[in-house]
Amino acid sequence: MTGRIFLKLIAGVFCLLLLALVTVDYFATNVAKDNYIQNLTGQLADKGRMLALSLGAEETPDAQQVRRMAQAAGGRITVIHADGKVLVDSEADAAGMENHRTRPELVQAFRGGMGSDVRQSATIGVSFLYVAVPVAGGQSAIRIAFPLAEINRQVSRIRGKILVSTALAFLPAILIAAMLARFISRRFATIMAHAGELARGNFRARLAETDSSEFGQLAQTLNETAENLQQTVAQLQHEHAELEKLERIRKDFVINVSHELRTPLASIQGYTETLIDGALADPAYNMRFLGIIRHNAERLARLTEDLLTLSRVEQKRQKFEFETHLANALIHDAFEMMRPIAEKNRLELIEERAPEDTVVCCDSEAVSQILSNLMENAIKYTPAGGRISVGALAQGAMVEFFVRDTGIGIPEEDLPRLFERFYRVDKARSRELGGTGLGLSIVKHLVAAHQGVMRVESRVPGGSTFAFTLPVNHATLGQGTLNPEFTAS
């Protein structure tokens, strides 16, 4: 393709030069010929005038003398009387020649001055340049004829020289044109190779030469196109990955929910059938089996309740009533609510009060759920004799609440996934303790709805601290955007 462009360019330039050469030849030849004839006419007229002087005033010049003159002048000489009669001719017999009165050069010469004409001789049939001047005050005229073939030979010589020198001048033009054509076709080749890369989907490819020429601008445009395509593809890939991730999370969730529901349901079904099949009448088993059935029913109820809460909060269907509350009042309510369970588990529950005037703007129901979920976890995962503290600290426009325990702690590798739905460090232990694995997920969404952030610190062994922030007033609540950490899962 680029080879063809090269050939076309070269052929185009060659045709142009050829045309120029033909034009130059045509005009230069004409100009040279005209010029030559003009000069020669002048010269022949001068010679004619000098010969006229030497002829003197004789009526009929001597034929011998005229022939010698013709030899010296290098042409044919004719002397003609004013009435057109040829008096003497250097090459023909004057007596046999027709009347020359109407010959254009003689008409002009007898009118005074000099006359000239180019035509074929009627006498000897060869083309001549005729130049005539009057002799002896216009009694007669002397005419010198110069063969046109000689003139043409001279002109051809000049023409040859012009053609050769013009052709020589065109050589560098052809060379420059070839170099230009090569340059253009090479750049075309580079750009086409690049376009091929783009067509094959390699949007990383870039053209290096982006100067201000048309090629440079084309390269620049192609680079920008590649850049745009690269970005669009990256964006689409990113969106695709996000969608895949969401789809995976959705599938996982469905699988997890089914799994979580199946175990207690299977247990209920199994024990109910055993009871119907006769165990109901057996006092050794009936109460125990009914106890198991109740336990599993409670588990199902907790699970469905947590799932409903989670879906309400996640889909932002939960209505919140944001009002100003004293931080200590919120802590105290939760403290009182959890105290019996903590005491039952032989845990020390400590209330770390914030400065008395510390307020937060929140939905008290939601905060109560956050605190109770965190405290429930702290109680569940802290062995008897441990200590659990709940409190708050003012931090500018936010107040940070915390629940700290001296429990089993959480391994560092589990921390990043802790807030995912159904994620549990020890599944069996969580189930045994009545956990659903949804508590922290609910907490994270409730905190996010308040524009708050969550933080976990934990050591194994040593204990964990779960902390979350709440805004001090409505303005902060309105300004914030959802914490991105909580929007993905």
Ligand X SMILES: Nc1ncnc2c1ncn2[C@@H]1O[C@H](COP(=O)(O)OP(=O)(O)O)[C@@H](O)[C@H]1O
**Residues found near Mg ion in the complex (CB under 5 A):** 377, 435, 439
Burial tier of 336 (Cβ tally within 10 Å: 0-12, 13-18, 19+):
exposed
Binding region for ligand X (CB under 6 A) out of 20-28, 135-143, 253-261, 431-439: 431-439
Nearest distance in Å: CB 287, ligand X: 28
Rounded to whole angstroms, the Cα distance separating 287 from 289 reads 5
For Mg ion, the closer of residues 312 and 431 by Cβ is 431
Smallest distance, Å, CB 462 to ligand X? 10
- Per partner kind, with CB cut-offs from 5 to 8 A, the member of Mg ion, ligand X, none near residue 449 is none
| Choice between 192 and 433, CB closer to ligand X | 433
Q: Is residue 264 near ligand X by the rule CB under 6 A? A: no
222: partner contacted, choices ligand X, Mg ion, none (Cβ within 5-8 A by kind): none
How many Cα atoms are found within 13 Å in the side-chain-facing hemisphere of 117?
A: 15
The DSSP secondary-structure symbol of 487 reads T
Which residue, chain included where needed, has tokens 């991105």?
484
Q: Which does 117 bind (CB under 5 to 8 A by kind): Mg ion, ligand X, none?
A: none
Q: Give the residue, chosen from 242, 426, 432, 485, that forms a contact with ligand X under the rule CB under 6 A.
A: 426
Beta 359-362 vs 348-352: how paired, if at all? unpaired
CB of 378 to ligand X, least distance (A): 5
Q: What letter would DSSP give residue 354?
A: P
| Residue 378 contact partner, candidates Mg ion, ligand X, none, CB within 5 to 8 A by sort of partner | ligand X
438 exposure class (CB count in 10 Å sphere: 0-12, 13-18, 19+): buried
Pairing relationship of beta strands 398-405 and 463-471 according to DSSP bridges:
antiparallel
Question: Of the candidates 372, 464, 469, 476, which one interacts with ligand X according to CB under 6 A?
Answer: 464
**Side chain identity, residue 142:** I
**Site size with ligand X, rule: CB under 6 A:** 19
Q: CA distances (Å), 408 to each of 1, 4, 339, 351, 440, in order?
A: 75, 80, 20, 21, 17
Dist CA 85 CA 398 (whole Å): 135
Helix axes 364-380, 327-344, angle to 10 degrees: 30
List the single partner that 381 binds among ligand X, Mg ion, none, CB under 5 to 8 Å by kind: ligand X
Query: Whole-angstrom Cα distance, residue 92 to residue 77?
Result: 10
Of 134-142, 161-169, 337-345, 419-427, which segment contacts ligand X by CB under 6 A? 419-427
Residue 307 within binding range of ligand X, rule CB under 6 A: no
Among 75, 264, 435, 471, binds ligand X (CB under 6 A): 435
Please report whether residue 378 would count as binding ligand X according to CB under 6 A.
yes
Contacting residues toward ligand X, per CB under 6 A? 377-378, 381, 405, 407-408, 410, 418, 424-426, 430, 435-440, 464
